Amino acid sequence: MSTDLTDDYTLLVYPFTHDLAETSRVERLRALATRWRPWWSRLEPARMIRALDDTYFFLPYVRELLFPETSSLRAAELVRQQSQLDELTSRSAASLAARVASDGVLHLTLDPAELAPLCDLQITLTRSGANGQPQHSSVAATVCWIDLYLFPQRVGFLVLKIRLADTPATIEQQLTLLELARPVFSPTVGRPLPVWRLRADATELTGRDLVDYLLQGLTAASPRLVVHTPAAYAARLRAGEPVPRYSLTSDGQVYGESFRLYSFVCLDLPAAYPVNPPFATPQQQLLYELASGRRATPGIPYEPHPEGLRSTLADHGIALWASWEALALPDRVCFLAHRSDDFNRYVLAHNVEADYFQLYLLTLYQKLRLSLLAGELQRRRTSLHDNLVDARALSRDFAMFRNHYWYAEVTLKAQGARIYERFQHGLGVSPLYLTISDEVRQLQEYYEAWAQRRTNTLLTFITIAGLLLAVPGLIAQVYGSAWAMSPWPVIVGWLGLIFAALGLLWLIGFVAVPGLYERRLGARARRDRSRTDA
């Protein structure tokens, strides 16, 4: 059944690791001044006042980190604060970066001149059908804006707001958009990627090409010389020029395999909308289809199992009001308003984009940063000193993350608090936090204890060595000139015994005992892993 949508938009979220360190981000952003601007600059005055009011959705300490530019505003009415903010954000991205705290989120937007060629596009996928004939899936879309969120500790998010170009649009078109816009890499080897064809100049890019084009100059793998038009970038790729690409890095291929989808759909759901088992209501079925990106038709390979569906809805569902509900899956979030009234079309649509999306990005940052910390926990160096330095640095990084971006409470709004809890649960953030916290503590304790043992052993060795080296002097004092008149083989023999004792102490204190301790730790770790596997 074809059902018209009264409103829709999808935020495509691409996680990446940026290369803008605190000491270099101003200089790097100055080189990108013609491309990225403070995000407030894309808002009209009335919308800026509303966006400024939205920042008070968060608790003060959270607001200062998510919107660090607002912390410099003097206390005043919103209209006066808006004029202060307009003055602050009318400057370049580099100027804003120099004035806001380095532990806050730097939020930028793509310059209108750079955005213009990307606004109007057609996304098409061509694949072979069952009879060998090519099958085409296509959808027209509009890109409303492209923003950049630079979180501390190298985590960033590229966000594209995209919506269907046709009015009115249908559910089938929305499902096609979600399917075609999501891939950055092909899900299977040899499977073609959808092509993004820009209507302005007929340039053709894949989702991966678009990501690499937009991330130029922001990552360690991206070129410092930025190409400013999609057509020029596509020409370089077609010519086979050696273009450094972030998507080729391990982080790009793992964390950036595809866009994460954050969607809002509003429609008047007809009472006669067909319901297929195991779904209980039309709203439940449509929400599942939009969140999963596929039709729930009986007999298809991905037909949901009743038990799995019940668990998914219970663990990831958000149902607070009768007129809308949401589903927060690990890589997709969908808000469905199945009653097209003024509240859902204007108030809810705005809240989902302005307030709830910030909650989602905060949760996604927590997830990605913890995942990166899990990789940093793997120690591959053999030097005790290097491992100890790394463990201390890792502990400092985790402490900064915990103190600045790990919150049990982010807002006093009951609905916002519930949605934040659902996002954290859907992304599995809390269990990961507990695991990483415990491992960071154990890792530092291990290397600190190891370093302390080595220090104690060295002090003991120095003490005993000093006593042994004092033996000849004691003998000389006791025997006087007799010791001085002793044959040199006797003296050499005594010195040999002393150094042999020192060597034995060295082997015991610095080789045998540490090796035995290391083997015991390895055996205990293997036993722990075997119990866990069992």
pLDDT tens sequence across 401-413:
888 889 889 999 9
205: in domain: yes
Peptide bond into 270 cis (omega under 30): no
Determine phi and psi for 142, rounding to 5 degrees: -125, 130
Query: 165 with 255, same domain?
Result: yes
DSSP state of 262: E
Query: 88 with 179, same domain?
Result: no
> For the chain, what percentages of helix, strand and coil (3-state, to nearest 5) are there?
55, 15, 30
For tokens 């010519």, the residue is 239
Span 383-390, average pLDDT: 63
Helix (H) or strand (E) holding 127: strand 120-128
Span 339-353, average pLDDT: 94
Query: Rounded to an integer, what distance in angstroms lies between the CA atom of residue 329 and that of residue 335?
Result: 11
**454 or 279, greater pLDDT:** 279
β-pairing, 4-17 vs 169-170, is antiparallel
Query: 73 with 185, same domain?
Result: no
Q: What is the number of domains present in the chain?
A: 2
19: in domain: no
Are 109 and 37 spatial neighbours (Cβ–Cβ below 8 Å)? Answer: yes
Cβ atoms within 10 Å, residue 290:
24
For tokens 């000389």, the residue is 476
Query: 236 with 127, same domain?
Result: yes
Are 45 and 53 spatial neighbours (Cβ–Cβ below 8 Å)? Answer: no
pLDDT at 415 over 90: yes
286: in domain: no
Condensed to tens digits (0 to 9), the pLDDT of residues 289-329 reads 999 888 877 777 778 888 988 999 899 999 999 999 999 99
Query: 77 with 146, same domain?
Result: no
511: in domain: no
Span 197-209, average pLDDT: 94
Given 259, 293, 316, the domain boundary residue is 259
Query: 45 with 131, same domain?
Result: no
Span 425-454, average pLDDT: 75
Kindly state the percentage of the chain with pLDDT values over 70: 79
Query: Rounded to an integer, what distance in angstroms lies between the CA atom of residue 196 and that of residue 211?
Result: 12
Condensed to tens digits (0 to 9), the pLDDT of residues 3-23 reads 789 999 999 999 999 988 878
Q: Would residue 153 be called left, alpha or beta, if left means φ above 0 and alpha means ψ between -120 and 50 degrees?
A: left
422: in domain: no
Query: 105 with 124, same domain?
Result: no
Condensed to tens digits (0 to 9), the pLDDT of residues 145-160 reads 999 999 998 899 999 9
Query: 187 with 65, same domain?
Result: no
Range of the domain at 151: 119-259
379: in domain: no
pLDDT at 139 over 70: yes
Query: 75 with 126, same domain?
Result: no
2: in domain: no
Query: Rounded to an integer, what distance in angstroms lies between the CA atom of residue 122 and that of residue 471?
Result: 90
Query: Rounded to an integer, what distance in angstroms lies between the CA atom of residue 69 and that of residue 61?
Result: 13
pLDDT at 434 over 90: no
Q: Residue 501: which residues within 8 A CB-CB, separation 6 or more?
A: 464, 468
Query: 86 with 187, same domain?
Result: no
pLDDT at 386 over 70: no
Given 66, 91, 110, the domain boundary residue is 110
pLDDT at 505 over 50: yes
Q: In the structure, what pLDDT confidence band is assigned to residue 89 with cuts at 50, 70 and 90?
A: confident
Model-level pTM? Answer: 0.82
Query: 151 with 43, same domain?
Result: no
Given 239, 259, 279, the domain boundary residue is 259
Q: In the structure, what pLDDT confidence band is assigned to residue 134 with cuts at 50, 70 and 90?
A: confident
Condensed to tens digits (0 to 9), the pLDDT of residues 47-59 reads 999 999 999 999 9
The pLDDT value recorded for residue 529 is 44
Determine phi and psi for 112, rounding to 5 degrees: -55, -35
Question: How does the average pLDDT of the chain come out, rounded?
Answer: 83
219: in domain: yes
The pLDDT value recorded for residue 103 is 87
**81 or 158, greater pLDDT:** 158
Q: How far apart are the two ends of the chain, measured CA to CA in Å?
A: 49
Query: 250 with 191, same domain?
Result: yes
